[in-house]
Structure 1
Amino acid sequence: MRHINRHPRQGMQILLLLLPFVLIAAAWFMGSAVRLEANPHDKLLPGLSQMLDAVQRMAFTPDKRSGDYLLWTDTAYSLLRLLTGLAISALLGLSIGIMAGVFPLIRASLSPLMTVISMIPPLAILPMLFIVFGLDELSKVMLIVIGITPMLARDLEQRAREIPAELFIKAQTLGANSWTLVLRVVLPQLLSRLITSLRLLLGSAWLFLISAEAISATAGLGYRIFLVRRYMAMDVIIPYVIWITLLAWLMDLTLRQLHKRCFPWAEGGRA
């Protein structure tokens, strides 16, 4: 049998899923044990007990200065910024995608503009955002919006242009106007694609958020990571990175389940 036709059984699939993570963790803790044995004060590869102490300190012990539980406070600030940016980006991207994908007159000017804007590195204009919008929350949200919206709009425009022309012809034959076409034909197709596009752009959204928080913030996951780096506090940085990864994975899982529930037809008929 050719290997391309071999599929893992359920038990083997779980084993193969866990294997890379187990190997990475084993390599880390073996390296940590070796370095800590040579130097008990080594900060580069902290052991499990050191990281658990850091989690206890950051998540379950009130800060002496503010009285806040820092991990949860940072998480709340970051998620608020991220979700606000994603919501605005989704609304703008969907609107632009519909207009550029359905109406040729609007596409003639809007599509090239989105193409040019999407080529601008968002981090390159971060100083401009701080100058224009200030150092508060708006500049961080706007970085996510500027970084995500053009890519969303271009993807949704392309999806709208891939809708078979026969559907538009049949709808117009039955008396549908432009507004009805958008609501009944285009929008269901693009809402499905919007969720998929948001899943694919979650990593970029987190990147923009962490970058903005690292430069100008007083709370947030990115702010905390770059604050403690000056002390080489890897026992704090690594749990924070793991926590960010877990949050991103949970967001991706939520969007995936939402897509399956709301658009089973886009899942190949699997509800």
Structure 2
Amino acid sequence: MRWINRRPGRLVAFGLAALPFALAVLGYVIASDLRRAANPADKLLPAPAQILDTALSLATEADRRSGDVLLWLDTSASLIRLAEGALISASMGLVFGLLIGLIPGIRTTLAPFVSVISLIPPLAILPILFIVFGLGEVSKVALIAIGIAPVLIRDIAQRTAEIPEEMIVKAQTLGASTWAIITRVALPQVLPRLIGALRLSLGPAWLFLIAAEAIASTEGLGYRIFLVRRYFAMDVIIPYVIWITLLAFLMDLGLRQLHRRAFPWAGPAT
């Protein structure tokens, strides 16, 4: 049998999926042991036990100066910013995507503008956002929204334009208004696509969030990472990076489950 036709069973598939992670952990342990054998005071690759102890301390012990548990304080601040930015972006993507995809006049007016805006590197305008909105929460949320909204708009507009023409014609034949066509014909077709596009935008959204927090913030996951880097505190940075990865995975899993439960007719979320 050819390799392209061989499909692993459930147990083998689980083992194959876990193999790269196990190799990565093993490689880190070996590299850490070698560096600490040469220099016991090495900070670049702390021992796994040290990382675990620091992670537990960050998650359970209150900071001496503020009295807050840092990990949960930073997580709460970052997730609120991310949720606000993603919600604004999804709303803009849905509304403008539907209008651009369905109404020729709006498509002619806005499609070129959105295309150009989507090509601007969001991090390049971060200083402008700080000048216009200040160093508070608005500029951070705005960066996330500006960073991913144009991509969502273009994706939803494309999906709307792909709706079969006969569906639009039939709706008009039955007397449907423009509003009815948007809400009863187009909206159910593009909502599953919106969730998929939002899943793909989570990575860039985290990037914009961490960049904004690193430059101007007093709490947040990105702020903490860039704060402790000056002390070479890898035992803090590594747990934070792992925690951010876990949060991103759980958010992606949640959106995938939402897609499966809310739109079972749309097929699997890919």
Q: What does residue range 229-268 of structure 1 map to in structure 2 within 5 Å?
A: 229-267=229-267
Residue deviations 1:225-249, cap 9 Å, x none? Answer: 0000000011110100000000000
Aligned mates of 1:193, 1:228 — CA distance in 2: 39
Tell me how far apart the structure 1 counterparts of residues 264 and 167 of structure 2 sit (CA, whole Å). Answer: 20
Alignment-mate amino acid for residue 112 of structure 2: P
Deviation for aligned residue 1:57? 2.3
Which amino acid letter does the alignment assign opposite residue 181 of structure 1? I
Match of 1:63 in 2: 63
% same residue: 61
Normalising by structure 2, we get a TM-score of: 0.98
Question: Per-residue displacement from partner, 1:163-186 (whole Å, max 9, x unpaired)?
Answer: 000100111111111111001110
TM-score, normalized by length of structure 1? 0.98
Tell me which residue corresponds to 1:79.
Answer: 79
The root-mean-square deviation of aligned C-alpha atoms, in Å, is 0.9
Matched residue pairs, number?
A: 269
Match of 1:93 in 2: 93
The residue correspondences of 1:167-186 to structure 2 (distance < 5 A) are 167-186=167-186
Alignment of 1:1-271 (within 5 A): 1-267=1-267
Structure 2 regions of 5+ residues with no counterpart? none
After superposition, give the CA deviation of every residue in 1:30-67 in whole Å (9 maximum; x if it has no partner).
Answer: 11011112211101111111101211221111100000
Which sits farther off after the overlay, 74-83 or 57-66? 57-66
- CA displacement 1:112-141 (0-9 Å, x = unmatched): 000000000000000000000000000000
CA deviation after TM superposition for structure 1 residue 77, in Å: 0.1
Amino acid at match of 2:204: S
Shift of 1:219: 0.1
Gaps in structure 1 of 5+ consecutive residues: none
